[in-house]
Amino acid sequence: MWSGGQGQARRRATWFVLALAFWLLVIVCRLVQLQVLQHGYYRAESDKRTTRVVELPARRGNILDRAGRPLALSLPAESIVVNPMRAPQPDVAAAYLAPVLGLDQRDLEQRLITAARQRRGFLWIKRRVSFAESQQLRRLGFGWVEFRRESLRAYPKGILAAHVLGGVDFEERGNGGVEQSFEEDLRGKAGAAHVIRDVVRRGVDSRTERPAEPGANITLTIDERIQHVAERELAKAVQESRSQTGSVVVLDPKTGDILALASYPAYDPNLPFKTRQDAEKRANHAVSVPFEPGSVFKVITVAAAMETTRLTPETIIACGRGRLNLFGRVIRDHHPYDMLPVAGVLAKSSNIGAIQIGLAVGERNLLNYVRRFGFGRPTGVPLPGESAGKVRELENWGRSSIGSVAMGHEISATTMQLAQATAAIANGGLLIPPRLVLSKQRQGQKAELTPVGSPRSILRPETAITMRRMMEGVVLNGTGTLARLDGYTAGGKTGSAQIFDPACRCYLHVYNSSFAGFAPVANPAAVVVVTINGASVFGGAVAAPVFREVASAALRLRNVPRDLPDNPPPRESAPVELADLAIPALESLEELLPEPATPERDGPRSVWGPRVPDFYGKTMRAVLEETARLGFPVEVSGSGVVRAQAPTPGSILPHNGRIRIVFAR
Amino acid sequence: MAAQARVFEDSSARADWAGKSGREAAGGFRLPPVPNESIYFYRKPIDNSGVVRLPDPKASARCWRWVAAATTVTLLLAGLLWPGAYSLLAGYQVESLKGQQETLRAELASLELEQARLVTPERLDQLAREQELIDPAPDQVVQLAPAPDGSLARNLSAK
């Protein structure tokens, strides 16, 4: 019996072992199929569930002022995302999220309900939250809240230089100013990384496939201190004069560097624009909005005359007692003048005098010089939407157009173009393209400096110096007396162009009031052009004081040595005529000419100062070049070679003194 | 088998103790109210004193071999799995540190922004006005060009 039972047990054991072996074989075969034959497929399926390719956002480059102070920064930020299908009850979710993120609870609850009804698996709760908000929410540890890494563009100085900087849209792409012009440089290139996460979305491992390349940092030529003064004074002037808009440009005349560019009204680039009014505030009036420059354009007319005619600053111009019939069109000065020297025409801003000078220059020459000074084409400043202004071709000129152009009408220009033209006079006759970007620097690379634009000679140096002297007369004796600076000589020209209303096809009694000037006269270090649009007062009254404040600040901040005595003589208490549409009667021609130096006026004889060189026998060109190089103020008369000079060679030039030189054949 | 025999013996002994045979006690062939009640409800005295364990050196050696083999396999498995497990844990740690690094960078950037906001010209202007500070007059600004000997002040020379 036992032997029979043992055999049966063995058979059973054998069958059991065989079944087990078969079962193991099936499992092994299946494993081979899964792990070997279909390895690639299942590996890919697994990776799909655990590994994600994450874009590494490239940090947008910073924008700095010329001293390296930050004007625009990018900082990492997080956006809050919720899957409404996974979130708890909408009212509960909203109750937790709304107080932390500063959102309206009812509105958020409604958004969650709507998204859940639409079976959406993704809902932005708030984009680019602050660091504190993000940390607070993270501490709550909700598994259904996702943090998306993004970048936040911030402008720490608020409205400062907003029109230069521009702004970015919600995708952080530039939509104005430097942000738009240098989008390619600032943006950088995004990288990519493989990130492995576990089931609760914790990071297990990550591998950078392509590192992100941050955008280049851009250093502007803007000086934020000068920019602040320009914006502050412009806003004050526009508000006090109840004007509409305005702009200020400050240039370094030797390099074309834009030290400040202000436009009013201003805006805060940190805030997105929503209304049409917000969009209008973003218009850059300094480069995008041309206007009829008016009397400030007489500088171009007179410069053209100095170059192309035999007129000199002392040449007498017949001003027709304030009335001129130009090919049937009657033009009047507000105040009648009989005779004025060319310098007086500029100082007193006589329209008829300017027209007479324009007629002497001729249409072709005048247009040629208008173009030479850069009008009618963009200056090339790297800001979007720059206007070229408007300069009509000669065949489109009417018979009286020469008169209009000579006094700054029938032509339009931007504040930037006027600044470029004024800088050409200030730097000795070179038209230099304005430069806004000083350098660009990519991470780990050397800064790439932007070269100064190629200068183009448009005036003879002696003409430029003569123009500077005549423009100084505008500030000392003419319509720009409110532009006089303490401690510095200054030259400039006022302008007040009536605004043409297309609706009534007439000129209104509101003006584009402007002032274009430079300082110091002998060796200008700053050019300042101020434009106030829609003003009810003249440029000499509203724009010249802005020039004074901005130029004073610019010279002080740039450490420009003073060229006037510490205690200047008190200003005349008599009221000054600032109207450059109207010119008061002139008592005598001599009052426009500089008075000779006298010990009584100039004080005791100087014992310390620069010594006067010997100019005897030299030509005018040689004298002007040498005095310009040495920075001596000079006053010349006659032609030929130097026959007389005062002070005598080797003597000390008194402070605020000039070298007077007489040329003769 | 011996233990089973003892159980049967105990059952008849219990019947004896009750004074009747098991079949009589059950009223002929009556089933007990609970199956196997004799097993679950009555203590069965079993005497194992007669069972003696004989020493088996072969079984002992086999047992130690099994222990050694199991330990070796366990160590091998642990050795194989340990790097992977360690790498996984280190990965968690590295990712956590990366997160902390990002957080610190974000904090640094927000502090830089705050610093830039604090020194805006407008704010400094306002603070200066509150302190009744004014721009210096031109005659209050003295430009000091350094002399060839390095001195800045006119009446002092570099030592």
pLDDT of the residue at A597 = 40
Residue type, A332: R
Across the interface, whether the CB atoms of A156 and B94 are under 8 A apart is answered: no
Q: Which two tokens stand for residue A445?
A: 């690379």
| A400 and A509 together in one domain | yes
Express each pLDDT in A47-98 by its tens digit.
888 888 888 888 899 999 999 999 999 988 888 999 888 887 888 889 989 9
Q: Which residues of A are catalytic?
A: 295
**A495 contacts: CB under 8 Å, gap ≥ 6:** A293, A294, A295, A296, A297, A408, A512, A513, A514, A515, A516, A539, A543, A580
From A487-501, A550-564, B31-45, B93-107, the region with the lowest mean pLDDT: B31-45
pLDDT category at B28 given cuts 50, 70, 90 is low
A573, pLDDT greater than 50: no
* Number of domains into which chain B is organized: 1
Alpha carbons A138 and A285: distance in angstroms, whole number: 45
ipTM of this complex: 0.72
> Which tokens go with A265?
């009204």
pLDDT of residue A603 exceeding 90: no
> Is residue A397 located within the same domain as residue A411?
yes
Residue A90: inside a domain, yes or no? no
Assess whether pLDDT exceeds 50 at residue B5: no
Residue A426 within a domain: yes
Q: State pLDDT tens for residues B140-159.
A: 777 676 677 766 665 555 44
Number of domains into which chain A is organized: 4
Query: Which residue, A566, A593, A620, sits at the end of a domain?
Result: A593
Domain range holding A59? 54-83+122-220
B69 in a domain, yes or no?
A: yes
pLDDT of A594 higher than 60: no
A599 in the same domain as A587:
no
CB B10 within 8 A of CB B44: yes
Query: Do A245 and A361 belong to one domain?
Result: yes
Query: Is the per-residue pLDDT at A596 higher than 50?
Result: no
B8 assigned to some structural domain? yes
Surface of B (74-113) touching A: CB under 8 A: 88, 91-92, 94-96, 98-99, 102-103, 105-107, 109-110, 112-113
B63 found inside a domain:
yes
Residue A212 shares a structural domain with residue A238:
no
Does residue B71 lie within any of the structural domains? yes
Please state the rounded mean pLDDT for residues A638-648: 75
B134 in contact with A at a CB cutoff of 8 Å? no
A interface residues, B as partner, C-beta within 8 Å:
69-70, 73-78, 130-131, 134-135, 149, 154, 156-158, 160, 196, 202-206, 224-225, 227-228, 232, 486-488, 552-553, 556, 559, 561-562, 564, 566-567
The mean pLDDT of A209-222, rounded to a whole number, is 94
Examine the domain organization and report whether A438 and A489 are in the same domain: yes
Q: Which residue has the higher pLDDT, A170 or A126?
A: A126
The answer on A662 and A566 residing in a single domain is: no
Domain that holds residue B91: 2-98
Residue B123 host element (H or E): helix B121-130
DSSP A176: E
Q: How far apart are CA A139 and CA B121, in angstroms?
A: 37
Task: Choose, out of A59, A75, A152, A560, the residue to mutate when testing the contact with B (most B CBs < 10 Å).
Answer: A75
Question: Rounded distance, CA B31 to CA B92, Å?
Answer: 68
Closest CA to A140 of A105, A106, A93, A85: A93
Mutate to test the interface with B, among A65, A157, A223, A270 (most CBs of B within 10 A): A157
Interchain proximity A196–B91, CB inside 8 Å: yes
Instruction: Establish if A510 belongs to a structural domain.
Output: yes
The predicted structure's pLDDT at residue A141? 82
Q: Give CA angle at B81 (B77, B87), nearest 5°.
A: 165
**Dihedral (Cα; A530, A532, A538, A544), 10-degree rounding:** -30
Domain annotation covers residue A92: no
pLDDT tens for each residue of B114-130: 999 999 999 999 999 99
Q: How confident is the model at residue A576 (pLDDT cuts 50, 70, 90)?
A: low
Q: Considering only alpha carbons, which residue of chain B is nearest residue A69?
A: B116
In a domain, A104, yes or no: no
**Does any domain span residue B58?**
yes
Which candidate, A389, A439, A438, places its Cα nearest to that of A286? A389
pLDDT, mean of residues A313-334: 84
- Within 8 A of B104 by CB-CB distance, chain A residues are none
- Look at strands A167-168 and A174-176 and give their pairing: antiparallel
pLDDT band with cut points at 50, 70 and 90 for residue A665: low
The angle that helices A105-117 and A90-101 make with each other, rounded to 10 degrees, is 140
- Partner A contacted by B125 (CB < 8 A): yes
| SS3 call for B26 | coil
Each residue of A221-250: pLDDT tens digit?
A: 999 999 999 999 999 999 999 999 999 999
B14: pLDDT strictly greater than 60: no
Q: Is residue A349 a part of any domain in this protein?
A: yes
Query: Is the Cβ pair B116, A73 closer than 8 Å?
Result: yes
Contacts of A375 (CB under 8 A, 6+ apart): A300, A389, A391, A411, A413, A417, A421
List CB contacts (< 8 A) between A196 and chain B.
Answer: 91
Number of C-beta neighbours around residue A576 at 10 A: 17
Does residue A428 carry a pLDDT above 90? yes
Helix (H, G, I), strand (E, B) or coil at A252: coil
As a whole number, the mean pLDDT across chain B is 78
Q: What is the pTM of this model?
A: 0.74
Where among A179, A197, A220 does a domain terminate?
Answer: A220
Q: Establish if B38 belongs to a structural domain.
A: yes
> Which residues lie below 8 Å from residue B138, measured CB to CB, with a gap of 6+?
A486, A487, A488, A552, A556, A562, A564, A566
Residues A497 and A523 in one domain: yes
- Percentage of residues in chain A with pLDDT exceeding 70? 92
Using the 3D structure, point to which of A220, A254, A285 is the last residue of a domain: A220
Facing residue for A73 by CB, picked from B103, B113, B137? B113
Contact by Cβ (8 Å): A450, A327: no
Q: Is 70 exceeded by the pLDDT of residue A197?
A: yes
The mean pLDDT of chain A is 86
Whether residues A58 and A192 fall in one domain: yes
Among A45-54, A349-358, B86-95, the minimum mean pLDDT is found in A45-54
Instruction: Determine if the peptide bond prior to A647 is cis (ω within 30°).
Output: yes
What is the per-residue pLDDT for B153? 61
Model confidence at A587, pLDDT cuts 50, 70, 90, reads very low
The residue ranking higher by pLDDT, A248 or B136, is: A248
Does A608 share its domain with A519? Answer: no
Task: Show residues of chain A in contact with B137, CB under 8 Å.
Answer: 486-487
Does A533 share its domain with A589? Answer: yes
Q: Return the SS3 of A477.
A: helix
Q: What percent of chain A has pLDDT over 90?
A: 54
Neighbours of A173 (CB within 10 A): 13
**Are the Cβ atoms of B141 and A77 closer than 8 angstroms?**
no
Q: Are A641 and A567 members of one domain?
A: no
Query: Per the CB < 8 Å rule, is B122 touching A76?
Result: no
Q: Is residue A564 part of a domain?
A: yes
Contacts of A633 (CB under 8 A, 6+ apart): A489, A521, A522, A563, A627, A657, A658, A659
The answer to whether residue A294 scores a pLDDT higher than 50 is yes
Amino acid B27: pLDDT: 54
Return the pLDDT at B17.
Answer: 46
Is residue A643 in a domain?
yes
Nearest to B121 among A78, A224, A562 (CB): A224
Predicted confidence band of residue A602 (pLDDT cuts 50, 70, 90):
very low
